Structure 1
Amino acid sequence: MAALMEALPAGSTDCHTHAFGDPARFPFMPGRSYTPGLADADQLRGFLDDHGLARVVVVQPSVYGTDNGCTLDAVRRMAGRARAVVVVHPGIGDAALADLHEAGARGVRLNLATTGATDVDCASATVAAFARRLRCSAWHLQIFAGHEVLWALRGQLGGAGVPVVIDHFGLVGLKETPLATAARNIVHLVEGEGLHIKLSAPQRSVADPDDAPVLADLVGALVAASPQRLLWGSDWPHPGRVRTGDPATPEAFEAVDDGRALARIAGWVRDEAALRRILVDNPQALYGFGPEGGAPAS
């Protein structure tokens, strides 16, 4: 781990984490699909420091709905190291959007996969509404959706008029599309449609990320085609895949070796300049972080 930390470029950023606070202060949404344990800003800070990561993006999880209080509290407590991706209603007013921007938010997430949303027409209407709302905001739209939905909406996403970020490899290994075909489609979404993609949570797409040559080849193809549109994220603390079936019982986070995940992405990318672009330069541009060692940009 120490050798890996020394090899990471200064200013390395984890672009996909979550924060879960004390439910007495930050209550969960009724009807949520899972109930997480505690993973607050102090734990997040420890995770970053343990892995040599300078900056972080805290992504609003589905369990809080549109109440971004816990996410923004974590950003505040990270003292300049963090940005947020929030969940809001498409009719949010200018003043509320400005307040969120001041608090560190730079994007809106659509949690389609978590809710099992597969209706393409419904997803298309949702994307259109948020794209219209964000077009003049300098924010981006982040989409957590199955590969089939992303592929069906490829033209709309490419012409959205705002940056679009795909979560978790586009979930290429799920549903009916063969993995190799889905991987080729992802290259088109990034290279042909100009979308960004998070090289995060590969275990959501394949059983063993260390034995997934198609995924390794996909990263190589993306690096060769569009390195300026690639991001990396851990998905810490790895929620929502270990279900108890009882909404009143907190569920264990998935056991993931985050040090191995960092080593894996470095091994997949191999090129030092490309790795710096993915871990430092691209997050700095998309999320408005300041230069390494400086204050975040407004």
Structure 2
Amino acid sequence: MSGSLGSPKTPGWLDWYENPSEPTFRLPPGTVDTHCHVFGPQAEFSFAPERKYTPCDGGKEDLFALRDHLGVARNVIVQATCHGADNSAMADAVRSAGGRARGIATVRPDIAESELLALDAAGVRGVRFNFVRRLVDTSPADDLLTIAKKVAPLGWHVVLYFESVDLPELEGFFGSLPVPLVVDHMGRPDVTRPVDGPQFTRFLRFVEDNDVWVKVSCPERLTVTGPPALHGDLHGERHDELHGDLHGERHAYTDVVPFARRVVAEFPDRVLWGTDWPHPNLTGHMPDDGLLVDHIPHVAVTAEQRHKLLVANPMGLYWPGEDF
């Protein structure tokens, strides 16, 4: 997983977990992981010169191995910021999946129609707009609106990555986009605030008032209490000390659960789930992807909610008209 064949990894980079545990929760047939990435491998797909970080390798073979280990049927592969607007690694992974993957690209406003059509043929179904300041220098609204207008005729959508504190200044622009919207990681709420407080309620009303889907994903990015917990009593212990030794009910990221449950309860037909593998830019801990699967029944508490979250909703968005 090193970057020895190219640029060295960012100091302190946390590599993805090579031996994830076996989930105790069995994913329903047809489950879609709607948020994952590929990093290179760097020897084949170079990273963008303007990138903010240099990750370890995490290529398509590693992603597909995780897919099969967890019992996932299909993936939606989101362009990683370390690759900039060169979508080669993502598109190659989508094409290599044999119809079991879709892609989300990063493009520039001057992209030619022919390039968009080529990406569409490869399986790309959307573009990502990143508003997280530590990951991108700027997100100019005029350029992004130009991109949205170019992809609208293809039936694509826009994936939005932002932090909850920035929603008030962004929601007017978001509402002007002429395409459906998909929000990453529940808009990154501050989970130390009340779930029924004004900040998260504003996000939910934004979802209600617009054509928005929400990814109930990345509890490991949002948590303050941290992983893992067994029967609610193991907060603060190291993941690698407990990996493979958790029996019975596995429950982590408990402070994120009320937020995810509220989204699933209010918008059962517009929620999606994803692993975020290979988990870029984490500094506190690297999650066990098996434990992330076991987080699902804590936030989608009925079989009907879980089927919509994991199968029906993503299939309708990314493979409309196809059987589960």
- Fold conserved (TM > 0.5)? yes
Tell which deviates more after alignment, 66-75 or 177-186.
177-186
Provide the C-alpha distance between the structure 1 equivalents of 2:276 and 2:37, rounded to a whole number of angstroms: 7
Which residue of 1 is the match for residue 67 of structure 2? Answer: 48
Tell which deviates more after alignment, 178-187 or 46-55.
178-187
Provide the C-alpha distance between the structure 2 equivalents of 1:132 and 1:150, rounded to a whole number of angstroms: 22
1:91 touches 1:133 (CA, 8 Å); kept in 2? no
Seen in structure 2, the aligned counterparts of structure 1 residues 273 and 43 have a Cα distance that, compared at 3 Å, is: same
**Can you list the C-alpha shifts for 1:240-271, whole angstroms capped at 9, x where unaligned?**
2249xxxxxxxxxx521212212212221111
**Can you list the C-alpha shifts for 1:87-116, whole angstroms capped at 9, x where unaligned?**
011232221111100001000011221645
Which residue of 2 is the match for residue 258 of structure 1? Answer: 289
- Mapping for residues 49-128 of structure 1, pairs under 5 Å: 49-113=68-132, 115-116=134-135, 123-128=140-145
2:23 touches 2:293 (CA, 8 Å); kept in 1? no
Matched AA of 1:265:
I
Provide the C-alpha distance between the structure 1 equivalents of 2:110 and 2:253, rounded to a whole number of angstroms: 44
Structure 2 residue matching 1:157: 3-state secondary structure: helix
Which residue of 2 is the match for residue 144 of structure 1? Answer: 161
Matched AA of 1:72:
A
1:41 touches 1:74 (CA, 8 Å); kept in 2? yes
Structure 1 residue matching 2:154: 3-state secondary structure: coil
Which residue of 1 is the match for residue 188 of structure 2? Answer: 171
Provide the C-alpha distance between the structure 2 equivalents of 1:112 and 1:178, rounded to a whole number of angstroms: 24
Which residue of 2 is the match for residue 287 of structure 1? Answer: 318
**Can you list the C-alpha shifts for 1:128-168, whole angstroms capped at 9, x where unaligned?**
23322222220000111122333322233234221111112
Deviation at 1:25, TM superposition (A): 1.8
Seen in structure 2, the aligned counterparts of structure 1 residues 132 and 40 have a Cα distance that, compared at 3 Å, is: same
Provide the C-alpha distance between the structure 2 equivalents of 1:108 and 1:266, rounded to a whole number of angstroms: 29
Q: Percent identity?
A: 33
1:10 touches 1:292 (CA, 8 Å); kept in 2? no
Which residue of 2 is the match for residue 226 of structure 1? Answer: 267
Seen in structure 2, the aligned counterparts of structure 1 residues 261 and 153 have a Cα distance that, compared at 3 Å, is: same
1:227 touches 1:278 (CA, 8 Å); kept in 2? yes
Match of 2:214 among 197, 213, 232: 197
Q: Does 1:241 align with 2:262?
A: no
Q: Does 1:4 align with 2:25?
A: yes
Matched AA of 2:215:
K
Which residue of 2 is the match for residue 269 of structure 1? Answer: 300
Seen in structure 2, the aligned counterparts of structure 1 residues 18 and 52 have a Cα distance that, compared at 3 Å, is: same
2:264 touches 2:299 (CA, 8 Å); kept in 1? no
For structure 2, list consecutive stretches of 5 or more residues without a partner in the other structure.
1-21, 228-251
Provide the C-alpha distance between the structure 1 equivalents of 2:91 and 2:257, rounded to a whole number of angstroms: 34
TM-score by length of 1: 0.84
Provide the C-alpha distance between the structure 2 equivalents of 1:242 and 1:84, rounded to a whole number of angstroms: 26
**Can you list the C-alpha shifts for 1:200-222, whole angstroms capped at 9, x where unaligned?**
11222222273544x32222222
Matched AA of 2:146:
A
Seen in structure 2, the aligned counterparts of structure 1 residues 61 and 116 have a Cα distance that, compared at 3 Å, is: closer
Provide the C-alpha distance between the structure 2 equivalents of 1:133 and 1:55, rounded to a whole number of angstroms: 27
Provide the C-alpha distance between the structure 1 equivalents of 2:80 and 2:133, rounded to a whole number of angstroms: 9
Matched AA of 1:64:
H
1:187 touches 1:221 (CA, 8 Å); kept in 2? no
Which residue of 2 is the match for residue 251 of structure 1? Answer: none
2:272 touches 2:314 (CA, 8 Å); kept in 1? yes
Seen in structure 2, the aligned counterparts of structure 1 residues 2 and 24 have a Cα distance that, compared at 3 Å, is: closer
Match of 1:16 among 31, 35, 43: 35
Structure 2 residue matching 1:89: 3-state secondary structure: coil
Deviation at 1:178, TM superposition (A): 7.3
Structure exhibiting the larger radius of gyration computed from Cα positions: 2
Count how many residue pairs are aligned between Structure 1 and Structure 2.
Answer: 277
Matched AA of 2:81:
S
Seen in structure 2, the aligned counterparts of structure 1 residues 118 and 50 have a Cα distance that, compared at 3 Å, is: same
For structure 1, list consecutive stretches of 5 or more residues without a partner in the other structure.
244-253, 294-298
Structure 1 residue matching 2:76: 3-state secondary structure: strand
Structure 1 residue matching 2:153: 3-state secondary structure: coil
2:58 touches 2:278 (CA, 8 Å); kept in 1? yes
Matched AA of 1:61:
A
**Can you list the C-alpha shifts for 1:32-73, whole angstroms capped at 9, x where unaligned?**
111111111111111011101000011100111110001111
